[in-house]
Chains A and B, each alone.
Chain A
Amino acid sequence: EPEVTQTPSHQVTQMGQEVILRCVPISNHLYFYWYRQILGQKVEFLVSFYNNEISEKSEIFDDQFSVERPDGSNFTLKIRSTKLEDSAMYFCASSIRNNYGYTFGSGTRLTVV
């Protein structure tokens, strides 16, 4: 069964450093998403991406965050200057069309120290 692949599985970074989380969505999917889950809390929407542009973003997704699909297969989330409160599991997801079931990746655990 096709999978959404995320790398790395765990990243530790110092506060103020930039991090890039990487995702390879399912190849024929057109819609891409990032979600995050702070330990013990709900899964939260960050951003959706379609046709090479952001289609929707949440209040969490401020100027410190950006997304990119640099080469037609990877989908990345960049956090420019990490804060302690950015520590969370970050999940990438993709879907073949809007409002269809998403396929989520297994996540990247980001720890900011």
Chain B
Amino acid sequence: DAKTTQPPSMDCAEGRAANLPCNHSTISGNEYVYWYRQIHSQGPQYIIHGLKNNETNEMASLIITEDRKSSTLILPHATLRDTAVYYCIVRTQGGSEKLVFGKGTKLTVNP
């Protein structure tokens, strides 16, 4: 699975959009981009995933560049409860079942 690179930390003001970037320049055609988050020491929480089209659900939007070498997770109106470590993970459809977690981005939402 392709390696991902994320900034170690970011800050965001409450109520504003949080845009979390992820680079995955070695991604191949059958690899999906997944986003999870981990609030304090709780279990990771699935947010969204996509292949090449932009995706939106009730939690977030995922924007994948046309060349698929990077993506951005957007939390449209961040709240204090969105403070967490956000993980961008690339995974092959039909390949290994495991999720390989990196260090992620620690997002702090400030009042």
Docked-complex contact B42 and A45, CB < 8 angstroms: no
Docked-complex contact A101 and B97, CB < 8 angstroms: no
Can you name 16 A-B pairs with beta carbons within 8 Å? A4-B43, A31-B97, A33-B98, A42-B103, A43-B38, A43-B44, A45-B100, A56-B97, A56-B98, A91-B43, A98-B97, A99-B93, A101-B48, A102-B46, A104-B46, A106-B43
Closest chain B residue to A90, Cβ basis = B43
With contacts A42-B103, A102-B46, A109-B41 known, what are 15 further pairs, Cβ within 8 A? A4-B43, A31-B97, A33-B98, A37-B41, A43-B38, A55-B97, A56-B97, A56-B98, A91-B44, A93-B44, A101-B34, A103-B46, A104-B43, A104-B44, A107-B41
A98 to B41, CA, bound (A): 25
Q: Residue B45 at the A interface, CB < 8 A? A: yes
In the complex, chain B residues whose CB is within 8 Å of the CB of A4? 43
Q: Mark B38-63, 1 if CB is under 8 A from A, else 0.
A: 10011111101100000000000000
In the complex, chain A residues whose CB is within 8 Å of the CB of B34? 101
Q: Residue B94 at the A interface, CB < 8 A? A: yes
In the complex, chain A residues whose CB is within 8 Å of the CB of B45? 104
A101 to B58, CA, bound (A): 14
Using CB atoms and an 8 Å cutoff, list the residues of chain A in contact with chain B.
4, 31, 33, 35, 37, 42-45, 48, 50, 55-56, 58, 89, 91, 93, 98-99, 101-107, 109
The size of the chain B interface, using a CB distance under 8 A, is 24
Docked-complex contact B42 and A106, CB < 8 angstroms: yes
A98 to B95, CA, bound (A): 9
Closest chain A residue to B94, Cβ basis = A99
A20 to B45, CA, bound (A): 24
Q: Mark B71-111, 1 if CB is under 8 A from A, else 0.
A: 00000000000000001000101111111111100000000
Closest chain B residue to A57, Cβ basis = B98
Docked-complex contact B41 and A45, CB < 8 angstroms: no
Smallest CB separation, B90 vs chain A (Å): 12
Smallest CB separation, A53 vs chain B (Å): 13
In the complex, chain A residues whose CB is within 8 Å of the CB of B103? 42
- Select which of A50, A58, A91, A106 is within 8 A of B98 by beta carbon: A58
